[in-house]
Amino acid sequence: MTIRVVIADDQEQVRDGLSMLLAAESDLEVVALAADGHEAVAAVRRERPDVVVMDIRMPRMDGIEATRIITSDHPESRGEAEGVTTVLVLTTFDHDDALYGALRAGASGYMLKDAAPTRLGDAVRRVADGGSWIDPTVAGKVIETLRETAPRDASGRPSLEMLSPRELEVLTLMGDAPSNQDLAGMLFVSEATVKTHISRLLMKTGSSERAQLVALAYKTGLVQP
C-alpha cells in the first residue's frame, strides 16, 4: 500500500529536499507541497493524504494551529471512506512550548530536522499505521511532562476539553475495554484509524497506556460503573 504524504514547510529548499527524500522510498508518495498552515489544511482537504509532514514556524498559520484543524477534521464523520490524516511534526525547535503544543494539538509524531535524512521514512510509516513517533532526544521527558501538565477542571479531575467529539466518542467506547477490531466495527473505520485516535488520546491526556484511558473514561463520568 502506498502512503500518501503532504509536506508543509515555509522554505522551498526544505520542501524540495524532503520531497526527494521521500520519493526515494517505493511505498511513499508526495501528493502536495504547502508553504504555510493555510495551504497545508487546504491540501489535506483536497488530497486526503495519510500523513502530513508539518513544520511548526510558518507564516499566516503556524503548524500547531494547522495540526489542530487537520486532526479535528474527520472525513469518516461525513460518510467518506478515507481514514483520518495523521500529522508528523518535523522542526528545528525542541523547546517545550513547541513540543507539547504540537502533541496537545493532535500530532502523532515529533521529529527534529537533523534526524530526517535517516529516520523520516520510518516515522512516516509509523504514524500512518496509527502509531506514534517521538524523537529520541526528547522522548525521555515527554510522557511524564504530558501527564503533569494534563488539563484539569476546578475539582482537580482530568479535563477533556482538549478532545475532539470523535476522540470523546472513542474514549467513551473504550470504557467497556473492547479490542481495536471491535472498536473499528463500532465506528465503521479501519483498525489503523482506531489506533490513530487512541494514540492522540494518549498524547493529549498524558496517559502512558490503554488501561489509563479506560480509567479516565470512568473518572470523568463518560462511562458509568
- CA dist 122 and 52 (Å) reads 14
**Binning pLDDT at 50, 70 and 90, where does residue 81 land?**
very low
The model's pLDDT over 2-52, given as tens digits with 9 standing for 90+, comes to 999 999 999 999 999 999 999 999 999 999 999 999 999 999 999 999 999
pLDDT value for 200: 82
Q: What percent of the chain has pLDDT over 70?
A: 83
Burial class (CB in 10 A: 0-12, 13-18, 19+), 178: middle
Q: Which fold has domain 150-219?
A: Arc Repressor Mutant, subunit A (1.10.10)
Residue predicted with more confidence, 5 or 203: 5
Per-residue pLDDT at 94 exceeds 60: yes
**Averaged pLDDT for residues 150-179:** 76
Residue predicted with more confidence, 97 or 184: 184
3-146 with 150-219: one CATH topology? no
Can you read off the three cell numbers belonging to residue 29?
508518495
Domain limits, the chain: 3-146, 150-219
In SS3 terms, the chain reads as CCEEEEEECCCHHHHHHHHHHHHCCCCEEEEEEECCHHHHHHHHHHHCCCEEEECCCCCCCCHHHHHHHHHHCCHHHHCCCCCCCEEEEEECCCCHHHHHHHHHCCCCEEEEHHHHHHHHHHHHHHHHCCCCEECHHHHHHHHHHHHHHCCECCCCCECCCCCCHHHHHHHHHHHHCCCHHHHHHHHCCCHHHHHHHHHHHHHHHCCCCHHHHHHHHHHCCCCCC
**Binning pLDDT at 50, 70 and 90, where does residue 147 land?**
low
**Binning pLDDT at 50, 70 and 90, where does residue 121 land?**
very high
What is the amino acid identity at position 76? E
Q: How many CB atoms lie within 10 A of CB 55?
A: 27
pLDDT value for 48: 93
- CA dist 163 and 166 (Å) reads 8
**Averaged pLDDT for residues 171-186:** 85
Q: Which fold has domain 3-146?
A: Rossmann fold (3.40.50)
Q: What are phi and psi of 13, to 5 degrees?
A: -65, -40
